[in-house]
A = this chain, B = another copy of it.
Amino acid sequence: MQAVILSIGDELIMGQTIDTNSAWLSARFADMGIMTIHHKTVPDDTSAIVLALKDACTLSEVVVVTGGLGPTDDDLTRHALADFLKRPLDLHPPSLERIRAFFKSLGREMPVINRIQAMVPRGVEVLDNDWGTAPGLKVKVGKALVFLFPGVPREMMKMAERDVFPMFQNHGESTVLTEALHTFGAGESTVAEKLGELMRRDRNPLVGTTVSKGVVTVRIRSEAVTQMLARKQLAVIVKAVEARLETLIFGRGEETLAGVVGKLSEKMGVKVTTAESCTGGLTATMLTDEAGSSLYFVGGWVVYSNAMKTRELGVPASLIEREGAVSQAVACAMAEGALRQEAADWSISTTGIAGPDGGSDEKPVGTVWIGLGHRSESGIKSKAECFQFPGSREMVRDRAAKTALNMLRLALLK
């Protein structure tokens, strides 16, 4: 079974708003083994909408349309549907009542312009909207079942959950299950080389890679006639991928690098602190993005100036003078200083040149020393590694913070 997702709106086609509905709908469809063959976005224009509907109904068995059901003059989806079906728009009195009641619940009179939202092409089924004013619509066109929903994500999602997905939960043909394994520390081509023939396009489960902000994700898609078989196939390939990528893999699905570091720290009962220079607080931000991070993160320093490195973390001014702020010795001194200052078991430190200025031949933009400090019974120890990150200031900082978290993750795994 195949689906087409259409989104309607000038604000989408002019790039003022990013369409998130289509991705959400097709992810839900994919989970049920329904393949989306295309997403299409068209402006608030009757003939463009009619054309997109015609196309979609020819190509697929399920069509979901979002947007253009609002009350203003530029909301033309219901008119386009009427044109496409060659049927008139009739007033649907129960919908009018619901819209009036909706406004009443907000303590307001229904504005006259909202009456249009109760107009429905003749013979089209109305899907009640319990979360806003525009009702959804449903109609069979040839072999295609067409659903139309308001573009407000929250309303659309609620209505799709109620009216669309239950119809296709067990549509019989096949089940698709997916898994995403996230890696850090190697480029996409290195990951692909390690995966080798697992990535062949004629295989099932299908294995692909995507890359986003330094994280290379291995995506696995298993299709089978039964849920059980799809799960079995998926498990085999997940295992094979894990065997080849080992500790490059840090997590799955919604997991983040900082979240995984957090979980590990919590499980091991260790506390973490940060001492950042070039990342300027980004490492701490990533750690505290995770709810519950106060269980393992005590806090940290952004020692941006050299004076602050010395005063707050006890990095000797002479050391900075001799080795430079961007050096192995200073990265280690920062990591150790943080552990001397606060009761934590592990510390990570960063000092580097994020750019665009400040680089030299010897230490070009992108040079970052990352330190890892550890307090054990034998005292405080540290080590540091030097990295050369490519790209913009934003990229250098992002990769440096993630690399610091990853160094801590690998140390915790040992």
Contact = CB atoms under 8 A, between A and B. Distances in A.
A58 interface: no
Most B CB contacts (10 A, CB to CB) among A16, A274, A289 go to A16
A279 to B, nearest CB: 8
A41 B40 CA distance: 6
B304 A192 contact: no
A317 to B, nearest CB: 15
Contacts of A289: 280, 393-394, 397
A111 B189 contact: yes
A385 interface: no
Contacts of A152: 211
A347 interface: no
Given A38-B52, A106-B390, A302-B284, A356 B291 contact: yes
A74 B201 contact: yes
Given A23-B15, A37-B43, A193-B111, A288 B302 contact: yes
A63 interface: no
Contact of A200 (B28, B73, B312): B73
A9 to B, nearest CB: 8
Nearest to A70: B188
Contact of A298 (B305, B342, B393): B305
Nearest to A298: B305
A300 interface: yes
Interface string A1-34: 0000000011111111111101111111110000
A297 B283 CA distance: 17
A19 B19 contact: yes
Interface in A346-401: 354-357, 388, 390-395, 397
A204 interface: no
A231 to B, nearest CB: 18
Interface of A: 9-20, 22-30, 35-44, 48, 52, 70-74, 105-108, 111-114, 131, 152, 154, 178, 180, 187-190, 192-193, 199-201, 208-212, 219, 221, 274, 276, 279-285, 287-289, 291-294, 297-305, 307-308, 311-312, 341-343, 354-357, 388, 390-395, 397
29 contacts: A10-B208, A10-B221, A14-B36, A15-B22, A15-B23, A15-B26, A15-B36, A17-B23, A18-B19, A18-B23, A72-B199, A73-B201, A74-B208, A106-B388, A111-B192, A276-B281, A279-B285, A281-B283, A282-B285, A282-B288, A288-B302, A288-B354, A289-B397, A298-B307, A299-B305, A299-B312, A300-B302, A301-B302, A312-B312
